[in-house]
Amino acid sequence: MSDKLFLSCDEASHTCDKAQYKEATLWGKMKLNIHLVYCAACRKYAKNNAKLTRLIKRKPVTLEP
Amino acid sequence: MPDHKIDPNQWISLYSDYLFNYTVSRVSDRDMAQDLVSETFLAGLGAMKNFKGEASERTWLISILKRKIIDYYRKINSNKGRAEVRMHYNSATESEGDWLEERVADPFDKTAEDHIENSELGLAIYNCLEKLPTKQAQVFEMKTILNYDTETICNELNITASNLWVIIHRARTAMAGCLEKNWF
């Protein structure tokens, strides 16, 4: 990932996805937070993303119908 | 003395480690240090026009960071002050106080209702997963539900890591939208 302080929305959502699996780097998350300060669309995406993770974590889903 | 220029695009690569090490040796809490450094960068961005160029960028950022660290200690000290006067009405003896709120059933306890809700949730997740394209569903399932490593999945399905993240992103967007409709 590039060294810029300001991420594009694509980069931000990529970091956000990674963060859901605890695979984002320290500075990646920092840059994401900076992006979220001024980007409402990504804030919304991050919120929904976290919600999805929470829902799936709530119960170990068995996939047999 | 030459005038110093300010260039926020270089901050992360040039100073983040330096500022982080400076902070972590003072607050001895990695998460907090990380927060303080990002607050410093933000404050620096906000105050960029006040940068006179008399000191180097790094010195300037450190002086902001010092303020942030002082603020942090002020804050936790006032928290501590508040914590010390908190009443521990339940610690002395078992039944002293006997607060009504603590005698009713624990709302976070697992009940039959929770179990039903949980199995409905599982069903909703399963239904949404079924609507995804096969590849997306497969990757999402391996990554999110079975908790496989990125590497394992990449080797298994013969895709690259960035490939995987794109698939995951699409799957997550679709899943969030689907669950939004059927569950929330």
**Complex ipTM:** 0.79
Reply yes or no on whether the pLDDT at A65 is more than 70: no
Q: What residues in chain B have their Cβ under 8 A from chain A's Cβ atoms?
A: 8-13, 16, 34, 37-38, 41-42, 118, 121-122, 125-126, 129, 141, 143-145, 150, 165, 168-169, 172-173, 175-176, 179-180, 183-184
Q: Of the candidates B69, B84, B99, which is a domain's last residue?
A: B84
Closest CA–CA distance from residue A40 to any residue of chain B (Å): 16
Q: How many Å apart are CA A10 and CA B170, to the nearest integer?
A: 12
Whether residues B67 and B13 fall in one domain:
yes
Q: Which CATH number is B73's domain given?
A: 1.10.1740.10
Task: Specify the pLDDT at position A38.
Answer: 92
Which of A38, A32, A34 is CA-nearest to residue A19?
A32
Task: Specify the pLDDT at position A61.
Answer: 45
Q: Does B109 reside within a domain?
A: no
Task: Specify the pLDDT at position B140.
Answer: 87
The torsion defined by the Cα of B168, B169, B170 and B176, in degrees rounded to 10, comes to 100
Q: Determine the residue of chain B that is closest to A45 in CA distance.
A: B173
pLDDT along chain B (184 residues), means of 10: 73 87 86 89 86 83 88 78 54 52 54 68 81 86 83 86 88 86 68
What integer is the mean pLDDT of A57-61? Answer: 60
> What 8-state DSSP symbol labels residue A5?
S
Q: What percent of chain A has pLDDT over 70?
A: 85
Q: Of the candidates B84, B118, B147, which is a domain's last residue?
A: B84
Task: Specify the pLDDT at position A34.
Answer: 92
Task: Specify the pLDDT at position A53.
Answer: 86
Q: How many Å apart are CA B154 and CA B174, to the nearest integer?
A: 21
Task: Specify the pLDDT at position B139.
Answer: 87
Q: What percent of chain A has pLDDT over 90?
A: 23
The amino acid at residue A57 is K
Q: Which of A17, A21, A61 sits opposite B122 (nearest CB)?
A: A61
Helix axes A9-20, A26-38, angle to 10 degrees: 130
Q: Band the pLDDT of A37: cuts 50, 70, 90.
A: very high
Give the residue numbers spanning the domain of B38. Answer: 8-84
Total count of domains within chain B? 2
Q: Which of A30, A45, A59 sits opposite B34 (nearest CB)?
A: A30
The amino acid at residue A16 is C
